[in-house]
Amino acid sequence: MSLTLHFHPLASYCWKALIALYENDTPFTPNLVDLGNLAERAALVKLWGVGKFPVLRDDARNETVPESSIVVEYLDSHYRGRTRFIPDDPARALQTRLRDRFYDLYVHLPMQKIMLDRLRPADKKDPQGVEEARAQLQTSYAMIEQQTANGGWAMGENFSLADCAAAPPLFYGSMVVPFEQTQKNLAAYFERLKARPSFARVLKEAEPYFQMVPKES
């Protein structure tokens, strides 16, 4: 099999790549990486010096593709399927990439800030940073509430890169700053995401690891 995805089934950015692979039933070999295992971490660093996943290795094309957004675009370019992640229209493609950046920078990053702070020792916690992250999530939620007022997907009628980016941080974001009772359009969009077969499969495969998700102390 040409494609290998180096990932962890609990990692939110890995979910983004997995959703894209499952959307089009793209054949690939999953390689679960335990960053606590020195040998496995070293192997990942050899592939991608930053040492973060997901990393997609394409032996047929002799390409190593890091970073979740780039992985999805790579699949759209070289392993195209029924779901197109980037529209052909340049203006629409630009807006799709913008929405992808929005979810990564203004939903994903603040969500991770809150989650990772839960892992810190009591004397190393960052309450100010957490409050700033919560405020950013509330701002982002309000924007998504407006964006999803007409139903559908992040960019309207068609599932895209933007939805691959939205699903993971909204799942974990709902744990740290719930939105289901206050943002009805967003909540309905999130339900549509969870019902999408590709994302439902990702969640099912992650279930055995959910006990590792840090709880609020």
pTM: 0.96
- CATH value at residue 59: 3.40.30.10
Range of the domain at 28: 3-78
**Residue 1 predicted with pLDDT over 80:** no
- In whole angstroms, give the CA distance from residue 34 to residue 208: 15
Do 185 and 100 belong to one domain? yes
Number of independent structural domains in the chain: 2
Q: Does 67 lie in the same domain as 115?
A: no
Give the tens place of pLDDT for each residue, 47-99: 999 999 999 999 999 999 999 999 999 999 999 999 999 999 999 999 999 99
Residues 200, 194 contacting (CB under 8 angstroms): yes
Domain final position from 78, 111, 143: 78
Residue 109 and residue 59 in one domain: no
Render pLDDT for 144-193 as a digit per residue (tens, 0 to 9): 999 999 999 999 999 999 999 999 999 999 999 999 999 999 999 999 99
Assess if residue 214 is contained within a domain.
no
Do the domain assignments include residue 111? Answer: yes
CA distance 22 to 91: 27
Residue 217 has pLDDT above 90, yes or no: no
Is residue 208, in this structure, part of any structural domain at all? no
pLDDT of residue 26: 98
Alpha helices in 48-206 (DSSP H): 68-78, 90-103, 109-117, 127-147, 161-176, 184-195, 197-206
Residue 156 corresponds to which tokens in the numbers above?
């309207």
